[in-house]
Amino acid sequence: MKSEIIVVGYGPTAMTTSAILGRQGIATTIVNPFPVYQKMPSATRLLALSLSSVELFKEHGLVKNIKSIGQPIKKIHVSQYKKSGLLEFDPTDIHKENFGYMVDEEELWKSLYSEVKDTSTIDEVHSNIETIDYQNNKIVLKLSNGQNLTADLLIAADGKNSIIRKKLYFEVEKKSYNQIVLICDIKHSKNHQGIAREIFMKKGPFATLPKLGGYSSSVVWTESMASESFLRSLNKPFLQEFIASRCSKELGEIELGSNPSLFPLSSTYSKEAIADGIALVGDAWHAIHPLAGQGLNLGLRDIKALTDLIVKEKSIGLDIGNFQILKKYQRARRDDITILISTIDIINNIYKSKLPIVPEIGQFMIRAVSFCKPLKNLFMIYASGKHI
Ligand SMILES: Cc1cc2nc3c(=O)[nH]c(=O)nc-3n(C[C@H](O)[C@H](O)[C@H](O)COP(=O)(O)OP(=O)(O)OC[C@H]3O[C@@H](n4cnc5c(N)ncnc54)[C@H](O)[C@@H]3O)c2cc1C
Protein backbone atom coordinates (compact mmCIF):
# COMPACT_ATOMS: atom_id res chain seq x y z
CA MET A 1 0.00 0.00 0.00
CA LYS A 2 1.43 3.38 -1.07
CA SER A 3 0.85 6.84 0.32
CA GLU A 4 2.90 10.01 0.30
CA ILE A 5 3.03 10.30 4.08
CA ILE A 6 2.58 7.86 6.95
CA VAL A 7 1.64 9.31 10.35
CA VAL A 8 2.18 6.96 13.29
CA GLY A 9 0.14 7.74 16.41
CA TYR A 10 -3.28 8.08 17.94
CA GLY A 11 -3.18 11.25 20.06
CA PRO A 12 -3.93 14.88 19.22
CA THR A 13 -0.71 15.52 17.29
CA ALA A 14 -1.21 12.48 15.03
CA MET A 15 -4.80 13.51 14.32
CA THR A 16 -3.88 17.16 13.66
CA THR A 17 -0.95 16.27 11.38
CA SER A 18 -3.02 13.81 9.34
CA ALA A 19 -5.98 16.18 9.07
CA ILE A 20 -3.81 19.10 7.91
CA LEU A 21 -1.96 17.04 5.30
CA GLY A 22 -5.02 15.10 4.13
CA ARG A 23 -7.06 18.27 3.69
CA GLN A 24 -4.37 19.61 1.37
CA GLY A 25 -4.81 16.62 -0.91
CA ILE A 26 -1.72 14.74 0.29
CA ALA A 27 -2.28 10.97 0.42
CA THR A 28 -1.78 10.18 4.11
CA THR A 29 -2.02 6.93 6.06
CA ILE A 30 -2.44 7.06 9.81
CA VAL A 31 -1.12 3.98 11.60
CA ASN A 32 -1.87 2.86 15.14
CA PRO A 33 -2.68 -0.43 16.81
CA PHE A 34 -6.14 0.62 18.04
CA PRO A 35 -8.80 -0.90 15.75
CA VAL A 36 -11.87 0.89 17.04
CA TYR A 37 -12.43 4.19 18.70
CA GLN A 38 -11.25 3.90 22.29
CA LYS A 39 -11.47 6.39 25.10
CA MET A 40 -8.03 7.97 25.33
CA PRO A 41 -6.21 6.77 28.46
CA SER A 42 -5.19 10.34 29.29
CA ALA A 43 -8.70 11.74 28.86
CA THR A 44 -8.86 13.19 32.38
CA ARG A 45 -6.79 16.14 31.20
CA LEU A 46 -8.00 19.62 30.56
CA LEU A 47 -5.63 21.23 28.09
CA ALA A 48 -4.80 24.91 27.79
CA LEU A 49 -4.73 25.64 24.06
CA SER A 50 -2.75 28.77 23.27
CA LEU A 51 -3.83 31.34 20.68
CA SER A 52 -1.26 30.07 18.18
CA SER A 53 -2.77 26.56 18.47
CA VAL A 54 -6.27 27.92 17.97
CA GLU A 55 -5.02 29.88 14.94
CA LEU A 56 -3.45 26.73 13.46
CA PHE A 57 -6.77 24.89 13.75
CA LYS A 58 -8.61 27.84 12.24
CA GLU A 59 -6.16 28.13 9.33
CA HIS A 60 -6.96 24.52 8.38
CA GLY A 61 -10.67 24.48 9.21
CA LEU A 62 -10.18 22.14 12.18
CA VAL A 63 -11.88 22.15 15.62
CA LYS A 64 -14.61 24.39 14.27
CA ASN A 65 -16.53 23.73 17.49
CA ILE A 66 -13.85 25.32 19.70
CA LYS A 67 -16.35 27.81 21.19
CA SER A 68 -18.76 25.05 22.21
CA ILE A 69 -16.10 22.76 23.72
CA GLY A 70 -13.61 25.33 25.07
CA GLN A 71 -13.64 27.79 27.95
CA PRO A 72 -11.91 31.05 26.97
CA ILE A 73 -8.99 31.88 29.30
CA LYS A 74 -9.82 35.45 30.26
CA LYS A 75 -7.01 36.02 32.75
CA ILE A 76 -4.12 34.20 34.41
CA HIS A 77 -3.38 34.80 38.09
CA VAL A 78 -0.04 33.73 39.56
CA SER A 79 0.66 33.95 43.29
CA GLN A 80 2.63 32.39 46.11
CA TYR A 81 0.88 30.46 48.85
CA LYS A 82 0.28 32.61 51.94
CA LYS A 83 2.29 35.51 50.50
CA SER A 84 1.03 38.87 49.40
CA GLY A 85 1.24 39.93 45.77
CA LEU A 86 -0.63 38.70 42.77
CA LEU A 87 0.64 38.67 39.23
CA GLU A 88 -2.27 39.21 36.87
CA PHE A 89 -1.94 38.53 33.16
CA ASP A 90 -4.69 40.23 31.18
CA PRO A 91 -4.89 39.49 27.42
CA THR A 92 -6.36 42.93 26.68
CA ASP A 93 -2.88 44.32 27.49
CA ILE A 94 -1.64 42.60 24.34
CA HIS A 95 -4.85 43.46 22.45
CA LYS A 96 -6.36 39.98 22.66
CA GLU A 97 -9.72 38.90 24.04
CA ASN A 98 -8.33 35.79 25.71
CA PHE A 99 -5.20 33.67 26.01
CA GLY A 100 -6.77 30.70 24.27
CA TYR A 101 -9.14 27.99 25.49
CA MET A 102 -9.28 25.30 28.16
CA VAL A 103 -10.44 22.18 26.32
CA ASP A 104 -11.18 18.68 27.51
CA GLU A 105 -8.65 16.45 25.73
CA GLU A 106 -11.32 13.90 24.84
CA GLU A 107 -13.53 16.54 23.17
CA LEU A 108 -10.58 17.94 21.26
CA TRP A 109 -9.58 14.47 20.10
CA LYS A 110 -13.12 13.66 18.96
CA SER A 111 -13.30 16.87 16.96
CA LEU A 112 -9.97 16.18 15.26
CA TYR A 113 -10.80 12.54 14.62
CA SER A 114 -14.09 13.43 12.94
CA GLU A 115 -12.08 15.53 10.43
CA VAL A 116 -9.70 12.62 9.84
CA LYS A 117 -12.62 10.27 9.15
CA ASP A 118 -14.25 12.77 6.78
CA THR A 119 -11.14 13.34 4.65
CA SER A 120 -11.00 11.04 1.63
CA THR A 121 -7.21 11.35 1.20
CA ILE A 122 -6.59 9.80 4.65
CA ASP A 123 -6.49 6.04 5.18
CA GLU A 124 -6.41 4.39 8.58
CA VAL A 125 -4.44 1.21 9.23
CA HIS A 126 -4.64 -0.49 12.62
CA SER A 127 -1.64 -2.61 13.39
CA ASN A 128 1.64 -2.64 15.29
CA ILE A 129 4.84 -1.76 13.50
CA GLU A 130 7.45 -4.48 13.16
CA THR A 131 10.28 -2.96 11.14
CA ILE A 132 11.25 0.23 9.32
CA ASP A 133 13.26 -0.16 6.10
CA TYR A 134 14.25 1.82 3.03
CA GLN A 135 13.61 0.73 -0.57
CA ASN A 136 14.20 2.88 -3.68
CA ASN A 137 14.47 6.02 -1.56
CA LYS A 138 11.17 5.30 0.19
CA ILE A 139 10.26 4.30 3.73
CA VAL A 140 8.81 0.81 4.06
CA LEU A 141 6.93 -0.11 7.22
CA LYS A 142 6.37 -3.79 7.84
CA LEU A 143 3.29 -4.24 10.01
CA SER A 144 2.37 -7.15 12.26
CA ASN A 145 -0.83 -7.71 10.24
CA GLY A 146 1.40 -8.69 7.29
CA GLN A 147 0.92 -5.45 5.36
CA ASN A 148 3.81 -3.37 3.98
CA LEU A 149 3.31 0.41 3.82
CA THR A 150 5.45 2.59 1.55
CA ALA A 151 5.78 6.38 1.69
CA ASP A 152 8.12 9.32 1.06
CA LEU A 153 7.97 10.45 4.67
CA LEU A 154 7.05 8.93 8.02
CA ILE A 155 5.93 11.28 10.78
CA ALA A 156 6.24 9.82 14.28
CA ALA A 157 3.49 11.30 16.48
CA ASP A 158 3.29 8.34 18.83
CA GLY A 159 3.92 10.14 22.10
CA LYS A 160 6.42 10.09 24.93
CA ASN A 161 7.25 6.37 24.56
CA SER A 162 7.50 6.57 20.78
CA ILE A 163 8.08 3.20 19.17
CA ILE A 164 9.54 4.85 16.08
CA ARG A 165 12.05 6.84 18.15
CA LYS A 166 13.10 3.65 19.93
CA LYS A 167 13.56 1.80 16.64
CA LEU A 168 15.85 4.61 15.47
CA TYR A 169 17.96 4.41 18.65
CA PHE A 170 17.82 8.18 19.09
CA GLU A 171 19.53 9.39 22.25
CA VAL A 172 16.95 10.61 24.75
CA GLU A 173 17.45 12.87 27.77
CA LYS A 174 15.12 11.66 30.50
CA LYS A 175 14.38 13.57 33.66
CA SER A 176 12.39 12.45 36.62
CA TYR A 177 11.20 15.47 38.57
CA ASN A 178 10.60 13.51 41.73
CA GLN A 179 7.15 15.07 41.66
CA ILE A 180 3.67 13.70 41.29
CA VAL A 181 0.60 15.49 39.99
CA LEU A 182 -2.94 15.01 41.27
CA ILE A 183 -5.70 15.92 38.83
CA CYS A 184 -9.41 16.13 39.61
CA ASP A 185 -12.46 18.18 38.76
CA ILE A 186 -14.18 20.42 41.28
CA LYS A 187 -17.52 22.19 41.31
CA HIS A 188 -17.67 25.58 43.02
CA SER A 189 -20.28 28.08 44.12
CA LYS A 190 -18.56 31.21 42.67
CA ASN A 191 -18.06 31.74 38.93
CA HIS A 192 -14.41 31.31 37.91
CA GLN A 193 -14.79 34.16 35.39
CA GLY A 194 -12.46 32.42 33.01
CA ILE A 195 -9.46 32.92 35.30
CA ALA A 196 -6.72 30.27 35.38
CA ARG A 197 -5.02 30.42 38.77
CA GLU A 198 -1.57 29.10 39.60
CA ILE A 199 -0.38 29.18 43.20
CA PHE A 200 3.25 28.31 43.84
CA MET A 201 3.49 26.10 46.91
CA LYS A 202 6.68 24.81 48.52
CA LYS A 203 6.73 21.52 46.62
CA GLY A 204 5.20 22.58 43.33
CA PRO A 205 2.38 24.57 41.78
CA PHE A 206 -1.31 24.17 42.56
CA ALA A 207 -3.51 25.28 39.67
CA THR A 208 -7.24 25.65 39.08
CA LEU A 209 -8.13 25.73 35.42
CA PRO A 210 -11.54 27.05 34.41
CA LYS A 211 -13.98 24.67 32.70
CA LEU A 212 -16.80 25.57 30.37
CA GLY A 213 -19.94 26.78 32.17
CA GLY A 214 -18.35 28.88 34.93
CA TYR A 215 -18.88 26.68 37.98
CA SER A 216 -16.39 23.87 37.58
CA SER A 217 -12.61 23.74 37.28
CA SER A 218 -9.86 21.21 36.93
CA VAL A 219 -7.34 21.04 39.77
CA VAL A 220 -3.72 20.26 38.90
CA TRP A 221 -1.81 19.85 42.13
CA THR A 222 1.90 19.07 42.02
CA GLU A 223 3.57 17.55 45.09
CA SER A 224 6.87 15.85 45.79
CA MET A 225 7.02 12.12 45.07
CA ALA A 226 7.45 11.52 48.80
CA SER A 227 3.83 12.63 49.26
CA GLU A 228 2.47 9.94 46.94
CA SER A 229 1.14 7.65 49.68
CA PHE A 230 -0.34 10.65 51.50
CA LEU A 231 -2.13 11.78 48.32
CA ARG A 232 -3.40 8.26 47.65
CA SER A 233 -4.71 7.98 51.19
CA LEU A 234 -6.79 11.17 51.06
CA ASN A 235 -10.47 10.40 51.32
CA LYS A 236 -13.08 12.60 49.66
CA PRO A 237 -13.82 14.99 52.59
CA PHE A 238 -10.10 15.51 53.33
CA LEU A 239 -9.23 16.13 49.70
CA GLN A 240 -12.13 18.55 49.38
CA GLU A 241 -10.95 20.39 52.48
CA PHE A 242 -7.36 20.56 51.23
CA ILE A 243 -8.43 21.95 47.89
CA ALA A 244 -10.84 24.41 49.53
CA SER A 245 -8.03 25.70 51.77
CA ARG A 246 -6.19 26.79 48.63
CA CYS A 247 -8.96 28.27 46.52
CA SER A 248 -12.26 28.77 48.39
CA LYS A 249 -11.58 32.53 48.70
CA GLU A 250 -11.82 32.88 44.92
CA LEU A 251 -14.13 29.97 44.06
CA GLY A 252 -16.46 29.71 47.08
CA GLU A 253 -17.74 26.38 48.34
CA ILE A 254 -15.93 23.45 46.81
CA GLU A 255 -17.22 19.98 45.99
CA LEU A 256 -15.23 17.22 44.29
CA GLY A 257 -16.46 16.64 40.73
CA SER A 258 -14.41 13.55 39.87
CA ASN A 259 -12.14 10.97 41.43
CA PRO A 260 -8.51 12.11 41.56
CA SER A 261 -5.91 10.65 39.17
CA LEU A 262 -2.21 10.67 39.99
CA PHE A 263 0.65 10.89 37.47
CA PRO A 264 4.39 10.86 38.29
CA LEU A 265 6.13 13.69 36.44
CA SER A 266 9.00 13.10 34.07
CA SER A 267 10.19 14.54 30.81
CA THR A 268 11.90 13.19 27.71
CA TYR A 269 13.74 15.06 25.00
CA SER A 270 15.17 13.36 21.95
CA LYS A 271 18.40 15.01 20.78
CA GLU A 272 17.58 14.08 17.20
CA ALA A 273 14.18 14.61 15.64
CA ILE A 274 14.90 13.49 12.09
CA ALA A 275 16.40 10.67 10.07
CA ASP A 276 16.24 10.00 6.33
CA GLY A 277 12.51 10.06 5.50
CA ILE A 278 11.46 10.32 9.16
CA ALA A 279 10.49 13.24 11.44
CA LEU A 280 9.33 13.25 15.06
CA VAL A 281 6.62 15.66 16.26
CA GLY A 282 4.97 16.43 19.61
CA ASP A 283 5.67 14.30 22.67
CA ALA A 284 7.57 11.77 20.54
CA TRP A 285 10.26 14.50 20.31
CA HIS A 286 9.74 16.32 23.63
CA ALA A 287 7.41 15.48 26.51
CA ILE A 288 7.73 18.37 28.94
CA HIS A 289 6.75 19.16 32.55
CA PRO A 290 3.09 20.30 32.58
CA LEU A 291 3.86 23.30 34.83
CA ALA A 292 3.16 25.82 32.07
CA GLY A 293 0.46 23.84 30.22
CA GLN A 294 2.47 24.06 27.00
CA GLY A 295 3.21 20.45 25.90
CA LEU A 296 0.59 20.09 23.21
CA ASN A 297 0.99 23.72 22.12
CA LEU A 298 4.67 23.04 21.52
CA GLY A 299 3.79 19.93 19.48
CA LEU A 300 1.28 21.89 17.42
CA ARG A 301 4.03 24.40 16.62
CA ASP A 302 6.15 21.45 15.34
CA ILE A 303 3.23 20.46 13.13
CA LYS A 304 2.84 23.98 11.75
CA ALA A 305 6.55 24.14 10.87
CA LEU A 306 6.66 20.64 9.36
CA THR A 307 3.43 20.77 7.35
CA ASP A 308 4.23 24.26 5.96
CA LEU A 309 7.63 22.94 4.86
CA ILE A 310 6.16 19.80 3.29
CA VAL A 311 3.61 21.76 1.28
CA LYS A 312 6.23 24.28 0.12
CA GLU A 313 8.88 21.73 -0.89
CA LYS A 314 6.32 19.47 -2.56
CA SER A 315 4.97 22.37 -4.62
CA ILE A 316 8.40 22.79 -6.24
CA GLY A 317 8.76 19.07 -6.82
CA LEU A 318 11.32 18.28 -4.11
CA ASP A 319 11.52 14.99 -2.19
CA ILE A 320 9.81 15.67 1.14
CA GLY A 321 11.66 12.85 2.88
CA ASN A 322 15.08 14.23 1.97
CA PHE A 323 17.31 14.58 5.04
CA GLN A 324 18.54 18.07 4.04
CA ILE A 325 14.95 19.28 3.79
CA LEU A 326 14.02 17.74 7.14
CA LYS A 327 17.05 19.44 8.68
CA LYS A 328 15.31 22.76 8.03
CA TYR A 329 12.40 21.55 10.18
CA GLN A 330 14.66 20.44 13.02
CA ARG A 331 16.60 23.69 12.93
CA ALA A 332 13.44 25.81 12.86
CA ARG A 333 11.98 24.10 15.94
CA ARG A 334 14.96 23.40 18.21
CA ASP A 335 15.34 26.80 19.91
CA ASP A 336 11.65 27.14 20.78
CA ILE A 337 11.70 23.68 22.39
CA THR A 338 14.96 23.96 24.33
CA ILE A 339 14.17 27.48 25.59
CA LEU A 340 10.80 26.33 26.91
CA ILE A 341 12.28 23.23 28.59
CA SER A 342 15.01 25.32 30.27
CA THR A 343 12.58 28.01 31.43
CA ILE A 344 10.25 25.45 32.97
CA ASP A 345 13.17 23.72 34.71
CA ILE A 346 14.44 27.01 36.13
CA ILE A 347 11.00 27.96 37.53
CA ASN A 348 10.42 24.47 38.88
CA ASN A 349 13.87 24.30 40.50
CA ILE A 350 13.46 27.67 42.16
CA TYR A 351 10.25 26.53 43.77
CA LYS A 352 11.53 23.06 44.64
CA SER A 353 14.73 24.37 46.22
CA LYS A 354 14.83 24.32 50.00
CA LEU A 355 16.97 27.44 50.28
CA PRO A 356 15.41 29.94 52.72
CA ILE A 357 15.87 32.75 50.18
CA VAL A 358 13.58 31.02 47.66
CA PRO A 359 10.23 32.48 48.79
CA GLU A 360 11.85 35.93 48.56
CA ILE A 361 13.08 35.20 45.02
CA GLY A 362 9.54 34.14 44.13
CA GLN A 363 8.09 37.31 45.64
CA PHE A 364 10.70 39.38 43.82
CA MET A 365 9.88 37.71 40.50
CA ILE A 366 6.16 38.25 40.96
CA ARG A 367 6.67 41.93 41.83
CA ALA A 368 9.25 42.51 39.10
CA VAL A 369 7.00 41.09 36.38
CA SER A 370 3.92 42.88 37.80
CA PHE A 371 5.59 46.27 37.65
CA CYS A 372 7.56 45.88 34.45
CA LYS A 373 4.93 46.10 31.75
CA PRO A 374 7.19 45.24 28.77
CA LEU A 375 8.43 42.11 30.59
CA LYS A 376 4.88 41.16 31.49
CA ASN A 377 3.77 41.64 27.89
CA LEU A 378 6.65 39.44 26.70
CA PHE A 379 5.46 36.65 29.02
CA MET A 380 1.94 37.01 27.68
CA ILE A 381 3.05 36.96 24.06
CA TYR A 382 5.08 33.82 24.77
CA ALA A 383 2.14 32.18 26.60
CA SER A 384 0.02 32.87 23.51
CA GLY A 385 2.44 30.69 21.58
CA LYS A 386 4.06 33.51 19.60
CA HIS A 387 7.81 33.87 19.34
CA ILE A 388 9.41 36.70 21.23
C1 LIG B 1 -0.88 16.54 33.78
C2 LIG B 1 -0.67 17.09 32.39
C3 LIG B 1 -1.30 18.28 32.01
C4 LIG B 1 -1.08 18.80 30.73
N5 LIG B 1 -1.66 20.01 30.39
C6 LIG B 1 -1.40 20.54 29.19
C7 LIG B 1 -1.98 21.80 28.80
O8 LIG B 1 -2.72 22.44 29.56
N9 LIG B 1 -1.68 22.31 27.55
C10 LIG B 1 -0.86 21.64 26.69
O11 LIG B 1 -0.61 22.16 25.59
N12 LIG B 1 -0.33 20.44 27.02
C13 LIG B 1 -0.56 19.88 28.24
N14 LIG B 1 -0.03 18.67 28.56
C15 LIG B 1 0.79 17.95 27.56
C16 LIG B 1 -0.09 17.22 26.54
O17 LIG B 1 -1.00 16.36 27.20
C18 LIG B 1 0.80 16.42 25.60
O19 LIG B 1 1.83 17.25 25.13
C20 LIG B 1 0.01 15.92 24.41
O21 LIG B 1 -0.99 15.01 24.83
C22 LIG B 1 0.94 15.22 23.43
O23 LIG B 1 0.20 14.73 22.35
P24 LIG B 1 0.83 13.63 21.39
O25 LIG B 1 -0.23 13.32 20.41
O26 LIG B 1 2.16 14.07 20.90
O27 LIG B 1 1.12 12.40 22.35
P28 LIG B 1 0.06 11.50 23.12
O29 LIG B 1 -1.09 12.31 23.58
O30 LIG B 1 0.83 10.72 24.13
O31 LIG B 1 -0.44 10.54 22.01
C32 LIG B 1 0.40 9.56 21.41
C33 LIG B 1 -0.46 8.41 21.05
O34 LIG B 1 0.24 7.42 20.30
C35 LIG B 1 -0.23 6.18 20.72
N36 LIG B 1 0.66 5.05 20.46
C37 LIG B 1 1.32 4.32 21.34
N38 LIG B 1 1.96 3.31 20.74
C39 LIG B 1 1.70 3.39 19.45
C40 LIG B 1 2.08 2.62 18.32
N41 LIG B 1 2.81 1.53 18.41
N42 LIG B 1 1.63 3.00 17.13
C43 LIG B 1 0.87 4.06 17.02
N44 LIG B 1 0.45 4.82 18.05
C45 LIG B 1 0.88 4.50 19.27
C46 LIG B 1 -0.42 6.34 22.21
O47 LIG B 1 -1.36 5.42 22.70
C48 LIG B 1 -0.99 7.72 22.31
O49 LIG B 1 -2.39 7.74 22.27
C50 LIG B 1 -0.23 18.11 29.83
C51 LIG B 1 0.37 16.91 30.20
C52 LIG B 1 0.17 16.40 31.48
C53 LIG B 1 0.87 15.12 31.86
User: Measuring from atom 38 of ligand 1, which residue has the nearest CA?
Assistant: 158
Domain-located, residue 206: no
- Looking at residues 276-299, what average pLDDT do you find? 94
Give the range of the structural domain holding residue 11, as residue numbers without chain letter. Answer: 5-70+101-173+268-352
Cβ(299) – ligand 1 distance below 6 Å:
yes
Is 186 within the bounds of a domain?
no
Q: Compute the mean pLDDT over every residue in the chain, rounded to the nearest whole number.
A: 89
Asked if pLDDT for residue 357 goes beyond 90, the answer is no
335 within a domain of the structure (yes/no): yes
Nearest to 146 by CA among 130, 135, 168: 130
Residue 336 falls inside a structural domain: yes
The average pLDDT across 50-64 equals 96
> How confident is the model at residue 201, as a pLDDT?
81
CB of 291 sitting under 6 A from ligand 1: no
Indicate if the pLDDT at residue 148 is higher than 50: yes
The pLDDT value recorded for residue 353 is 62
The protein residue whose alpha carbon is closest to atom 50 in ligand 1 is 290
Q: Average pLDDT in the 147-167 region?
A: 97
Q: Is the pLDDT of residue 374 over 90?
A: no
Q: Report how far residue 267's alpha carbon sits from residue 167's, in angstroms, rounded to the nearest whole number.
A: 19
Q: Residues 208, 210, 214, 216: is their CA dihedral positive or negative? A: negative
Q: Is 169 among the domain residues?
A: yes
pLDDT score, position 83? 72
**CATH classification of the domain holding 273:** 3.50.50.60
Query: Quick one: how far is CA 252 from the chain centroid?
Result: 30
Q: Indicate whether 349 pLDDT > 80.
A: no
253 occurs within a structural domain: no
Does residue 361 belong to any structural domain of this protein?
no
Residue 373 has pLDDT above 70, yes or no: no
pLDDT of residue 34: 85
pLDDT tens, residue by residue, 180-209: 999 999 999 999 999 999 888 877 889 999
* Segment holding 27, helix H or strand E: none
**Residue owning the nearest CA to atom 14 of ligand 1:** 295
Count structural domains, the chain.
1
The mean pLDDT of 15-31, rounded to a whole number, is 97
In angstroms, what is the span from residue 191 Cα to ligand 1's centroid? 30
Q: Is residue 367 part of a domain?
A: no
Number of C-alpha atoms within 13 angstroms, CB side, residue 256? 17
Phi and psi dihedrals of 172, rounded to 5?
-120, 130
pLDDT for 44 equals 63
- What percentage of the chain has pLDDT greater than the value 70? 87
